[in-house]
Amino acid sequence: MIATYQQYILNFKQASGTSRGVLKTKETWFLIVEHEGKKGIGECGIFRGLSADDVPNYEEKLQWVCANIHLGLDLLLAELIVFPSIQFGVEQAFISLQSANPFLLFPSEFTQGNDTIPINGLIWMGSEAFMKQQIKDKIEAGFSCIKMKIGAIDFKTELELLKSIRKEFSAEDIELRVDANGAFKPSEALEKLKILSHFDLHSIEQPLKQGQIQEMARLCEETPLPIALDEELIGVFDVTKKEDLLLTINPQYIILKPSLVGGFAGSHNWIDLAEKQNIGWWITSALESNVGLNAIAQFTYTLQSKLPQGLGTGSLFTNNFESPLQVKNGTLQYQNNNNWNFKL
């Protein structure tokens, strides 16, 4: 068995705003495993500035994986505990290698084109006019769940945007989620959440910056609005620490990005712990190419969650790979007549 890796830079169609700044490109890495004439492909979707494994020796670790691919999946995953995005790439590559089709990791009604995955439409930060246009486009495209990033522009302007949506569409028509990406200060968060709760929101993601455990626990206890932890889960590798985190904060939801939490195994681990505490969850992509998104979507479908998932990021890039994934009527669909065009 031999393994190689290659870097790939994804280019955004238009710069995408978050509370961490504006994204123009997204770095990712592909792991290719070959054995007896078959090929397995995995994407290691590192997210610079966010991933726990955004470290100087990242590429060195990929070299180590390629040199030690003979160790097999379980031993590699154990050695890669602090490299969640590489864990995910390794998992994908091994499952892909064993499949008749390297991109068919979890055959299901979804991959047969008989069923779909409901997803949220993502509204990026920007000027009021830009955000308004995105909202209009998503509603016209048939989305019944919209996720709006907040915390970068003026709070009053963001409230006006939410108000304009609710003027036209009730909570029964459109489910609204907001993502603060840790933008609120602990001293102001509860007040802001009280104001936001007037708009019948489904939830708010990560209102406080990660690492403020006691403040977040207090907020989750007092909040008038369901809180979903996102960044808070990043870099928590030990099972006991994961359990302690959920017991202490006791959020209403957690959001799992497989590239950031250790792939399929890491996601399963968090889900098991959350369900023990009656904490809801959903899965979100982390700006992977269609290769990683395809793996996440197929995995997500097997979990049979009824909530809209965060998997609508495939169309953001100019140089993504053609794939069977297609967003239609607010759902992610698998079009079997679309072939893969995976060339590095």
Residues acting as catalytic residues: 149, 257
The first and second tokens of residue 9, run together, are 């830079």
The first and second tokens of residue 213, run together, are 């455990």
Exposed, middle or buried: residue 130 (CB in 10 Å: 0-12, 13-18, 19+)?
middle
Q: Which amino acid is at 88?
A: F
The first and second tokens of residue 111, run together, are 């991959």
Residue with tokens 């939801």: 253
The first and second tokens of residue 85, run together, are 């995005």
Q: How far is the C-alpha of 84 from the C-alpha of 87, rounded, in Å?
A: 5
Start-end of H helices in the chain: 58-67, 73-79, 84-98, 128-140, 155-168, 186-196, 213-222, 239-249, 258-261, 263-276, 290-303
The first and second tokens of residue 166, run together, are 């609710």
Q: How far is the C-alpha of 296 from the C-alpha of 85, rounded, in Å?
A: 12
Q: How far is the C-alpha of 237 from the C-alpha of 320, rounded, in Å?
A: 31
68 within 8 A of 5, measured Cβ to Cβ: no
- Collapse the DSSP code of 303 into the 3-class scheme (helix H, G, I; strand E, B; otherwise coil) and give the result: helix
Which strand (E) or helix (H) includes residue 2? strand 2-18
Q: How far is the C-alpha of 32 from the C-alpha of 30, rounded, in Å?
A: 6
Q: Which amino acid is at 91?
A: E
Q: How far is the C-alpha of 287 from the C-alpha of 26, rounded, in Å?
A: 7
Q: What is the DSSP letter of 322?
A: B
